[in-house]
Amino acid sequence: MAWSNQAVLDFFGSQGDDVFGLRAAEGEWPIGRLLTHLIGSAEWYRYCLSGEKWTDLKPIKSGAIALEYRSYAGELDAFLIAQAALPDEELVIDAEGETIHATRSLILSQAPAHAAEHKGQIAAIMKQHGQHFDLDSLDVWNYYGTLKNK
């Protein structure tokens, strides 16, 4: 997921500002909001696992902002990767007055599934608007290929 997230931010770092406002339909989130949500979700997972609060994210409305978030996304992903080495345990999470019970493994499983879901939405929006966002380049087989070729 970390490698894929970096590739996504790199890709959108080279896109024109108009791309960030594209949406599937009126009332749906535009691409920029979905990208911002990917970063915000990683913050939420970090909060669930550590109690560290999230920040007030600047909306991704340009390639420059996407690239600005690249290192922060890397930090968040590194935190999640480190959490995978810890023993599984039940966590009690304060979700703004609501108590959620979850295990570390559940949260860590949700992170890549959630990111993949929104990357699929982004690819569909791009296709709908005559543009291409290559999801195949973000799959685990391509990741393995990049490691093998290093």
- Fold of the CATH domain 2-148: Four Helix Bundle (Hemerythrin (Met), subunit A) (1.20.120)
Give the residue-averaged pLDDT of 4-26.
Answer: 95
Give the residue-averaged pLDDT of 126-138.
Answer: 88
Give the residue-averaged pLDDT of 50-61.
Answer: 94
User: What pTM was computed for the model?
Assistant: 0.91
> Read out DSSP for the chain?
-HHHHHHHHHHHHTS-GGGGG--SSTTSPPHHHHHHHHHHHHHHHHHHHH-PPPP-PPP--SHHHHHHTHHHHHHHHHHHHHHTTSPP-EEEEEETTEEEEEEHHHHHHHHHHHHHHHHHHHHHHHHHTT----GGGGSHHHHHHHHHT-
| pLDDT score of 69 | 96
| pLDDT score of 8 | 94
- Say yes or no to pLDDT of 78 above 60: yes
